[in-house]
Structure 1
């Protein structure tokens, strides 16, 4: 194929038809089909559907109202997650990389998924290859292939050499012909292996799913036994179906999983507004639990931009003379790396014309130019001089300890890549990394939240430690050069002792993360290069910059669209809000579950009918749980994570369930015998007292109270009373304005708060609070 022109439209279509098209970056969200499937096809939805069919047989159609609540809850979950998906997908488009591709009609800008086999890609310094290929045109490039070799040293490539996807051009430019695209490319193979690991873990969802798993085992056999018991106690089949349905509905905490998912989806949408993309929703919770944060120096602590700090003349040169030489040399060489940009922006260009140029090489660590019969070279002193004088070496070491990168400008007798001849130093050039704006405040916040900051970098540990000091990272002086260690490394000892890790290889990064995890820490890791993917995937929470590689972004839990690490504060707060609020409101869902299981077991052995009908549970579920928990779950709550989910839940749920069961037994045993109340009346009082207990529990959960939360509780309580006054018949409730009934239930209502408080003190705080619920 001619190199001067790219593929025609016909050739492109032929390759697309043959499946020789590159793959798009993995989506950060689930598909619409997956969202519908996961929200609709659940075990509890199946149980509710079966129960609804059984109620239909009885002809009591109003008792089907519980299905309306299930449908609304499921619809809310689907709609909210789809809204979140659209917002995140819209933001994802902003972070996608595009590439210049030579086609027959000219050079076009394409996303990586539009590239086909044999396309000609115009690659510039800093670009990452999205496909495997062959270099067709170049004057010489250097490629970072650290994802293959584990070595950060760039490799020189010439025309005809192969390059692999995931590689970065660190210098030069080239036209590369795509040879392997899509699943056949190296980076997709590597990413596939990395992504085959476990998904992000969620302690919160794991705990809730563990509860649901237990209920799954219990609910069907217990319901079947209760149904048979009702028939043996001479209940009609309709009464047995309604009672059993009410019992099983009560056991299902269907809204708890929904509320957790909706809360995480809302958080993901909020984070998208803060320019943070969330790959997996549980990761929001994961970052809130992190207590070790591994930081990459460039892009996280520093902005990635270099700036000229100072020029120090040597050998009787004046400052103005050295500035002129440095400015003329760097402009004549024409390098386009960060160091050259920093010098170009700070120094004037005298307009020298070069007669010979030796471009910068990471292997040589210098670049040079011949102008007006003089050779000038800029680079690292130790690579330009055969032996650095002791006094100068000490001076350079002092500058490095201050976090400065030391270069020198020199005049040479020769200008050959392997021979500079006699070298005369003219001055030292001090370059510094620019500390990212707000870095100090961001790191101080994390450290105040008991998150230990660790710096892991491939740079000189002394330089990195100084930068960490400038950024306010604690224990910055505890540093180690990983390249000085042998093969037998005790990583557990290293992570316990050091804060700054320099000269770290990709494999060592992963081993460090694993060592922290073995020490029972929850680890987050930042990164932007392909060499970071092993550590990012190993970490409990991976954070990638949008300016980084596509491979890194595809496996990270979070992508910072503006490559601004300050945005992680929003993630931390969103995670805490979700965990703290769900831990708080989960108790309200489990109250109904616990008393329903207990009552089902008790009424198996009683002759009286089950105290509730399905329709009667609706006011309790909606007014004391469903509506208030939705508002409570979304309020700001950024306190530190307690890690005591089950303990906090049980301290409220268990006493409340005990109170409900006690009141229902009192109503059933004494109301029918002493006050001659019929089943309709005892079931009405059961609803009344159960609602009263749940409202007290809601008051407890809403603490600390403010006007809005107190108003919410009062509003729910008022609506609950109105149900009895105006909508009693709809919910199969008898009138409560009856003095015979009032003499019985008013003392019980008056005792609800003190009785709840007493049970909570005895059972909740003295017994349950002492149990290890892990």
Structure 2
């Protein structure tokens, strides 16, 4: 858009923008980084279990004493805490979403301005450059080699050339060239907005954790109804009056409901989002928290991840004195309307040396071609790009470029090609026709935090794969300088086998890959996933988008292209590679602790069902009032669960959440329910004592066993975990020892013989449970350091983990690194 611009090229005037805003012709698409406030309230209040517990609360208040309705306070607290925590997470997400959103560049009154996507109006002239996201639909009015990737919309990975007059749709992104288009459809009329609206009608992405919790709730729903019928029938036949029957039945049914499990899950996810938000990390999809915990392979791009985005021009090695290499290179950089980091480094180093030549045409850089070029009037056609692409296989300069690259330098080539050959770049065989003019050496800046971050991942059993479009020798040198295992054997991706299984074997054995194209990055991620790996991919450029879409977890740098950020579940707004360990660590903490807490709540459900069944078979009065079980559940499960759900936890998650929890909860619940009922039933055989004495005996036995289950779940023990268990024991002792509290909870301490017998039975059950736990991995597998099966041998080179099925071990060094501070 040179010369005298037309009205269309000048863009809208300020008055025209105000008119369109007043008419509502603006790109006002609601930002949905999280659920709305009414959805949050509804999800936390209007639940099936809240309805069940609320009904039981009404029954107790009508037929029993108000003290037995204390479990209703738990209902209110659960809902209130869930709403508050999720609202905190929503505020964090919404705030970060504004910061992380890609702005749009529009030309108004002849000048280019950056504005928020929501401020684009109908008829705006939107300027495009490489990596820009297309935010609305429109018609191209100017094209300088503009190529658009519409794979997010069509599924086709090939870039589409967009000449003037072509239609572009929101959701695409620019992979090469630049241009401008006029906004023809904005807001809900845009193509991507319609797709998003249709997609929102379907369920969220699969989450093993949420699927497992929903499975638990489904099982409990099936069991509660028949158990409640049995319990009500038994109580009406054995109790002295209707009030006692209703109270006893409600006590049993309430205990079967794992109401705190959903709450703890919501809190853990919400707190994880808030914690990551404080580190300038935007989690765009909540299920990504779970993906963070399961990652065992991390694929990283070199540029922008291991190295800083910028580069410095080192030297220009002139290969032919008869060619004006430095002037041509400076002119190529000066003529680029949207220079990338490479061109900016050249421009900074050579821009002032000579007057730029007049361009007659250009070919923008493409990661698929790996070169860019331009034709200059009277000066011929020149190309600039990867040395091993532009230089022929027999060219002696290839060896010199390789030697320079072996030191970690980035080496590119400048060459002259026949006049007119750039008119059809797709047919140009540059290596056969180019006349090498110079080697251009660029110095890359290593991120200071890269080396300790790589060491952290090695210690945590996460294999790191460097996947770069640069020369493999240069990439290997940088990875080697950072201490990455396997960096001594870089692989040229052009030599990788096409068969996915064979490719996956090479990927498992090696750590560094160079000359990787965008489609090949995608194929590599797919091959790793086919071996059973959970793959995270980091990237910042348009060439990373396909791989980001393919990965289990996509992580984009905040300074990266809008396209990369649009497909990522996690965006590192501070652009720090060192944030990744915190991201992975937060995911592990959330998932591991939710599983730990699930063990407690499902144990309670199992022992409640066991007690209901045994009471029904023995046709005796239910041994507890609701207040007894409220006290026990609060001290042995509810309060400790808050602390355990937020505790540090760095172990990598494994599949099989439901079977592991059931393998723990069923034996633990059977032990608690069986031992408690045995102590209670023996006490009923003695003539002395009333129901308060009998229920006290049962309460002491159940609390003692529940406390031991808490101790097993809290392993490995440290000062604060043992202190937590001791504090809960002391709180129960205070209730028994302080008369007003004892009377409030309807407890008596006069039957020492019965209490001693019940405690002896509970102690025997605890010993049996401890012995059994040695043969049931689920008892210790959820806590770091408690089981050798938890640790995965660090991989990242030869002998790395294969598909999650290799032999696992834990060395003394790995154990020492278990609580290593995050870099």
TM category (shorter chain) comes to 0.7 to 0.9
CA distance in 2: counterparts of 1:137 and 1:79, whole angstroms: 50
Aligned to 2:767: 758
CA distance in 1: counterparts of 2:484 and 2:385, whole angstroms: 28
Helix, strand or coil for the counterpart of 2:555? strand
2:703 to 684, 691, 696: 691
Name the CA shift for 1:482/1:30 in 2 (closer, same or farther; >3 Å). Answer: farther
1:217-256 deviations in whole A, cap 9, x for unaligned?
A: 0001210121122223464222221111100111111112
1:556-609 deviations in whole A, cap 9, x for unaligned?
A: 321221233321111111122223333333333233212110010111122321
Name the CA shift for 1:503/1:144 in 2 (closer, same or farther; >3 Å). Answer: farther
| TM-score, structure 1 normalization | 0.85
Once the 2 structures are TM-superposed, how far is the Cα of residue 630 of structure 1 from its aligned partner?
Answer: 0.8
Once the 2 structures are TM-superposed, how far is the Cα of residue 58 of structure 1 from its aligned partner?
Answer: 0.5
| TM-score, structure 2 normalization | 0.80
Name the CA shift for 1:10/1:225 in 2 (closer, same or farther; >3 Å). Answer: farther
Helix, strand or coil for the counterpart of 1:526? strand
Name the CA shift for 1:595/1:328 in 2 (closer, same or farther; >3 Å). Answer: closer
Helix, strand or coil for the counterpart of 2:182? strand
Once the 2 structures are TM-superposed, how far is the Cα of residue 95 of structure 1 from its aligned partner?
Answer: 1.0
Aligned to 2:81: 76
Aligned to 1:733: 746
CA distance in 1: counterparts of 2:704 and 2:775, whole angstroms: 24
Name the CA shift for 1:99/1:64 in 2 (closer, same or farther; >3 Å). Answer: same
Name the CA shift for 1:131/1:225 in 2 (closer, same or farther; >3 Å). Answer: same
Once the 2 structures are TM-superposed, how far is the Cα of residue 622 of structure 1 from its aligned partner?
Answer: 1.3
Alignment check: 8 A CA contact 1:656 1:756 kept: no
Helix, strand or coil for the counterpart of 1:365? strand
Aligned to 1:145: 149
Aligned to 2:182: 177
Query: Alignment RMSD, CA only?
Result: 4.2
Q: Aligned pair count? A: 758
Once the 2 structures are TM-superposed, how far is the Cα of residue 13 of structure 1 from its aligned partner?
Answer: 7.6
Q: Name stretches of at least 5 consecutive residues in structure 1 with no aligned partner.
A: none
CA distance in 2: counterparts of 1:545 and 1:712, whole angstroms: 40
1:113 to 89, 99, 118: 118
Alignment check: 8 A CA contact 1:62 1:730 kept: no
Q: Are 2:349 and 1:346 aligned?
A: yes
Helix, strand or coil for the counterpart of 2:647? coil
For the pair shown, the structure with the greater C-alpha radius of gyration is: 1
Aligned to 2:796: none
Q: Are 2:685 and 1:673 aligned?
A: yes
1:238 to 223, 240, 243: 243
1:301 to 300, 303, 306: 306
Helix, strand or coil for the counterpart of 1:674? coil
Q: Name stretches of at least 5 consecutive residues in structure 2 with no aligned partner.
A: 1-5, 783-823
CA distance in 2: counterparts of 1:68 and 1:395, whole angstroms: 76
Name the CA shift for 1:400/1:116 in 2 (closer, same or farther; >3 Å). Answer: same
Q: Are 2:435 and 1:428 aligned?
A: no
Alignment check: 8 A CA contact 1:235 1:609 kept: no
Which stretch shows the higher mean deviation, 109-118 or 654-663?
A: 654-663
Name the CA shift for 1:102/1:771 in 2 (closer, same or farther; >3 Å). Answer: closer
CA distance in 2: counterparts of 1:594 and 1:515, whole angstroms: 42
1:6-37 deviations in whole A, cap 9, x for unaligned?
A: 45678668867988543548523222122112
Structural mapping, 1:219-258, within 5 Å? 219-233=224-238, 235-258=240-263
Helix, strand or coil for the counterpart of 2:554? strand
Q: Are 2:271 and 1:259 aligned?
A: no
Once the 2 structures are TM-superposed, how far is the Cα of residue 67 of structure 1 from its aligned partner?
Answer: 0.7
Structural mapping, 1:581-660, within 5 Å? 581-641=593-653, 649=661, 653-654=665-666, 656-660=668-672
Alignment check: 8 A CA contact 2:149 2:174 kept: no
Aligned to 1:576: 588
Once the 2 structures are TM-superposed, how far is the Cα of residue 71 of structure 1 from its aligned partner?
Answer: 0.9
Alignment check: 8 A CA contact 1:478 1:497 kept: no
1:713 to 725, 742, 749: 725
1:388-426 deviations in whole A, cap 9, x for unaligned?
A: 863234434555666655445578997996699x99866
Aligned to 1:67: 72
Aligned to 2:504: 495
Alignment check: 8 A CA contact 1:202 1:283 kept: no
Once the 2 structures are TM-superposed, how far is the Cα of residue 2 of structure 1 from its aligned partner?
Answer: 3.9
Helix, strand or coil for the counterpart of 1:294? strand
Once the 2 structures are TM-superposed, how far is the Cα of residue 134 of structure 1 from its aligned partner?
Answer: 2.5
2:34 to 10, 14, 29: 29
Aligned to 2:453: 442
CA distance in 2: counterparts of 1:517 and 1:627, whole angstroms: 39
Name the CA shift for 1:396/1:151 in 2 (closer, same or farther; >3 Å). Answer: farther
Once the 2 structures are TM-superposed, how far is the Cα of residue 618 of structure 1 from its aligned partner?
Answer: 1.5
Name the CA shift for 1:620/1:481 in 2 (closer, same or farther; >3 Å). Answer: same
